[in-house]
Structure 1
Amino acid sequence: MSSTTTSSPSPTNTCGSGGGADTYSGLRIASVFIILVGSMFGALFPVLARRSRWLHVPQGIFEFAKYFGSGVIIATAFIHLLDPALQELSSSCLGDAWKQYPYALALAMLSLFSIFIVELIAFRWGSAKLAALGIKHDPHGHNVGSHAAHGPESQHVKGDSGDDRNSEKLQSDEEALRQQKSLDDSAVAQVIGIFILEFGVLLHSVLIGLTLAVDPDFKILFVVIIFHQMFEGLGLGSRLAFMKLPERLNYVPICAALLYGITTPIGIAAGLGVKTTYNPNSTTASIVSGVLDSLSAGILLYTGLVELLAHEFLFNNDMINASNSKLAYALVSMLCGTGIMALLGRWA
């Protein structure tokens, strides 16, 4: 976001005041629906395609979308959130106090560690519950349902056949109960992880919608945001598609994809509604968008580097034991996502 230079900014919203641009009014209105379609397609297609029996999308396409999406999310954090936040919170419209400390970086760090602490507490609480049921929990989030030995279950001595059958049935029932409990806890962890990721993405989506509605460089920004939202939606949708949830929670990925799809259009509509007073270069707008971009950057950095990269490449047994060609395919897919999203940062 660019800023209007002033020598003595007022504490009120005067720097860059006067509202946003009012050119291309018809196209700005149409952008609500065009970006809605692009965002919905990016987020919903992986979810629906993975559940569909008639689309027959090859597994390799899903793998590409998953790793491509990881790259998109990381590039979004660095190029589309952290860099704008640094510019916004060092704007010439802000007072000298804002320039005496790197607030954008500090807020991103605060956000990152806050998410880490929340997940750490949730992990310890969940692990304690699983341990009480005698279930081992992989600290890296894989093989959640593996089981520890349980005394009599691992040292069962064959006796009376009737007692054997009753004992086996009891053990089977207990095993099913533990498996269901493990699945439920795993589902909660996945939903929390997706919520954290989507929260960071949604904050960003609202802000770019507001900016698009009032920015004078509308045409270039409009084209870039169409691709931006579709690729970012693909990154989110590919994660939603691979969630392993109980049948009663199958609606969660679809609802999350729909929420992503409508967020930027809502931001555009809101921007059109306040375009006579809202200017993205104003003092207040710079502070608000800078703070939100910083917080979102921290969320996406943590999610992208820890939840996606580390868990998918370093701590994933399938990837550790994968062939060199599969590993290379995953890395190239991820770097393609990063490169394309970083390139879009040239214009928006």
Structure 2
Amino acid sequence: MATATKLLNLVTISIFVISIFTPKASAQSNECNAQSNNSCNDKSAALPLKIIAIVSILVTSMIGVCLPLFTKKIPALHPDRNLFVIVKAFAAGIILATGFMHVLPDSFDMLWSDCLKENPWHKFPFTGFVAMLSAIVTLMVDSMATAIYSNNHKKGKTAITPHHQGDDEEAVAERDQEMVAPARPTGHFHGHHHGLGKEDSPDTQLLRYRVVAMVLELGIVVHSVVIGLSLGASNNTCSIKGLIAALCFHQMFEGMGLGGCILQAEYKLLKKAIMVFFFSVTTPFGIALGIAMSSIYKENSPSALIAVGLLNASSAGLLIYMALVDLLSADFMGPKLQGSINLQIKSYIAVLLGAGGMSVMAKWA
């Protein structure tokens, strides 16, 4: 898991380095560096709205991400139950729509802006390219982290239960057969086991849930900081009012998706608290950072457009991959949904409702 964290940090740092060293002399006009002047631009009136945004988004984020963590006390929402699968499908639809309908279009708009030079920004689809690379890197981290942890786990089990010299061949063969036999799914792993062998043991499945939770949180955190920065740097009171309501709903439902993954990962209390904390504070932190940088941060400047555009593209690729591969595909191709057409239909409806609701919100945020 430490290796996976290092890889994720390396990817994030690389994107920031690329953004910092991107040529600043890429503007076509000085108008791109200027804030637009209209009746909605009021710095003194915008500040109280930003403070309200910090508090309200912090509270709704905490409610959203913590809500699934308390479902153990509600039998109907236990991870073994059908209702949990449907709610998780709804949350996965929200995360998928966030990548496709919110983050990716923003990146296209920024990297195709008239404020950037024709060459190279208008000659090559950097948004699609970076999103594709991000999805591939996410797959690599996902795969490598799982393999490394699985190998270490196998070595640990081998060291704990070595073959004794006094064992006869029949006993050894019997013990090996037990190791090869597929583990019987228990607890909330029931809905995700394929029953193909030891690779699908509860320990391996638990690892998958933990890798998914870590990678998903990274993508959400990057996106949350970016949207918070944009809101905090803006002095447009007309847009801020709509953004506050939209982002509250956005963070709450996105938090529910992440909270479900954290619940399945079965982290200890401290690890859960850390992940909840980082998700909850990233958007408010971005807003506060935007307020502090409002005098120097110009959202239409070439540097800002390139940096935020690249970050959005990488975040979109990660979120789309996670939603399709690790959340939707893992559940819909698992035995629980494959064994019930009725549950599949309900889950598909939940996905469409989640994706549709988040798509409608793209009008405001």
Q: Which residue of structure 1 aligns with residue 297 of structure 2?
A: 278
Q: Which residue of structure 2 aligns with residue 72 of structure 1?
A: 94
Q: Per-residue deviation at 1:14?
A: 7.0
Matches within 5 A, 1:124-203: 124-129=147-152, 151-153=173-175, 186-203=205-222
Distance in 2, matches of 1:235 and 1:337, equals 10
- Structure 1 pair 99–195 and aligned structure 2 pair: CA distance change class (3 A): same
Q: Is the 8 A contact 2:222 2:311 kept in 1?
A: yes
SS at match of 1:69: helix
The amino acid that maps onto 2:320 is L
Q: Is the 8 A contact 1:43 1:234 kept in 2?
A: yes
Q: Per-residue deviation at 1:183?
A: 5.9
Q: Per-residue deviation at 1:150?
A: 5.8
The amino acid that maps onto 1:78 is F
Distance in 1, matches of 2:176 and 2:132, equals 47
Question: After TM superposition, where is structure 1 displaced by more than 4 Å over at least 4 residues in a row?
Answer: 11-14, 18-21, 55-61, 126-134, 182-188
Q: Is the 8 A contact 1:67 1:333 kept in 2?
A: yes
Distance in 1, matches of 2:328 and 2:245, equals 29
Q: Per-residue deviation at 1:107?
A: 0.4
- Structure 1 pair 238–189 and aligned structure 2 pair: CA distance change class (3 A): closer
| Structure 2 counterpart of 1:308, from 320, 327, 333 | 327
Q: Is the 8 A contact 2:64 2:256 kept in 1?
A: yes
Q: Which residue of structure 2 aligns with residue 174 of structure 1?
A: none
| Structure 2 counterpart of 1:105, from 111, 128, 145 | 128
Q: Which residue of structure 1 aligns with residue 251 of structure 2?
A: 229
Whether 2:297 is the aligned partner of 1:258: answer: no
Q: Is the 8 A contact 2:82 2:343 kept in 1?
A: no
Relative to structure 2, which stretch is displaced further, 205-214 or 260-269?
205-214
Q: Per-residue deviation at 1:335?
A: 1.1
Q: Hey, which of these two has a bigger chunk of helix by percent? A: 2
Q: Deviations over 1:315-340 (max 9, x none)?
A: x1111112x22111111111111100
Q: Which residue of structure 2 aligns with residue 295 of structure 1?
A: 314
SS at match of 1:242: helix
Unaligned ranges ≥5, structure 1: 1-7, 135-148, 157-178
Q: Which residue of structure 1 aligns with residue 48 of structure 2?
A: 26
The amino acid that maps onto 2:361 is L
Unaligned ranges ≥5, structure 2: 1-24, 159-170, 179-197
Q: Per-residue deviation at 1:130?
A: 5.7
Q: Deviations over 1:25-73 (max 9, x none)?
A: 21211211111001111111111x2243xx5664555333211110011
The amino acid that maps onto 2:34 is S
Distance in 2, matches of 1:185 and 1:307, equals 14
Distance in 2, matches of 1:255 and 1:154, equals 40
Distance in 2, matches of 1:155 and 1:30, equals 62
Q: Per-residue deviation at 1:251?
A: 3.2
| TM-score with structure 1 setting the length | 0.76
SS at match of 1:119: helix
Aligned length: 295
The amino acid that maps onto 1:319 is L
Percent sequence identity is 31
Whether 2:352 is the aligned partner of 1:331: answer: no
Q: Which residue of structure 1 aligns with residue 339 of structure 2?
A: 321
Q: Is the 8 A contact 1:43 1:258 kept in 2?
A: no
- Structure 1 pair 154–192 and aligned structure 2 pair: CA distance change class (3 A): closer
Distance in 2, matches of 1:26 and 1:194, equals 34
Q: Deviations over 1:130-185 (max 9, x none)?
A: 66658xxxxxxxxxxxxxx96133789xxxxxxxxxxxxxxxxxxxxxx9xx7665
- Structure 1 pair 233–9 and aligned structure 2 pair: CA distance change class (3 A): same
Distance in 1, matches of 2:122 and 2:260, equals 39
Q: Which residue of structure 1 aligns with residue 110 of structure 2?
A: 88
| Structure 2 counterpart of 1:35, from 29, 32, 57 | 57
Distance in 2, matches of 1:128 and 1:62, equals 31
Q: Which residue of structure 2 aligns with residue 173 of structure 1?
A: none
Q: Is the 8 A contact 1:21 1:275 kept in 2?
A: no
Q: Is the 8 A contact 2:225 2:283 kept in 1?
A: yes
Q: Which of the pair has more CA radius of gyration? A: 1
